[in-house]
């Protein structure tokens, strides 16, 4: 395989994503990203943004479980069992999102490897669950099918 600097940047971001580094790096771009709220606003601990617009909110429940709901929707998606798992998953999501934007070519031969590593990195945090109810599982499934979006 011929070295690819874009793939190398993604792997570097992914390698540090779950433990250190900023949640989001780089200039404003037309990408999806998770913004962590510190301090939280009530039960809302994070927001999904795309093109600078809020698309949905991440909530922490009394049990510690994190769930997601799109703006204007009543449907809840399971995200993670706790805040630390959510923070790690958010870093991985943002690393992949930024790298997919940077790559800007889902037909690229390296995209499948990026998607595979994205799913494996999320699975290391906790099992992905049912795509019908689990946000990360649905996101990985859609991405494997060529649709890069947070479910």
d(CA 47, CA 71): 10
Residues 121-139 pLDDT 10s: 999 999 998 989 999 999 8
pTM: 0.78
CB 131 within 8 A of CB 49: no
Q: Tokens at residue 129, please? A: 């669950």
Residue 117: pLDDT above 90? no
Mean pLDDT over 92-116 rounds to: 71
pLDDT for residue 28 is more than 60: no
Per-domain boundaries in the chain: 5-144
Q: How confident is the model at residue 7 (pLDDT cuts 50, 70, 90)?
A: low
């Amino acid at each position: 395989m011929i070295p690819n600097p874009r793939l190398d940047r993604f792997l570097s971001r992914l390698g540090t994503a779950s433990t250190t580094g900023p949640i989001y790096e780089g200039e404003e771009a037309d990408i999806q990203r998770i913004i962590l709220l510190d301090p939280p606003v009530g039960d809302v601990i994070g927001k999904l943004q795309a093109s600078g617009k809020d698309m949905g909110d991440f909530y922490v429940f009394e049990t510690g479980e994190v769930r997601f709901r799109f703006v204007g929707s009543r449907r809840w998606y399971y995200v993670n069992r706790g805040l630390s798992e959510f923070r790690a998953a958010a870093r991985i999501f943002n690393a992949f999102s930024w790298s997919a934007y940077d790559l800007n070519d889902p037909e690229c031969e390296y995209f499948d490897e990026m998607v595979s590593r994205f799913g494996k990195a999320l699975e290391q945090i906790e099992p992905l669950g049912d795509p019908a109810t689990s946000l990360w599982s649905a996101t990985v499934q859609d991405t494997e099918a060529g649709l890069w979006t947070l479910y």
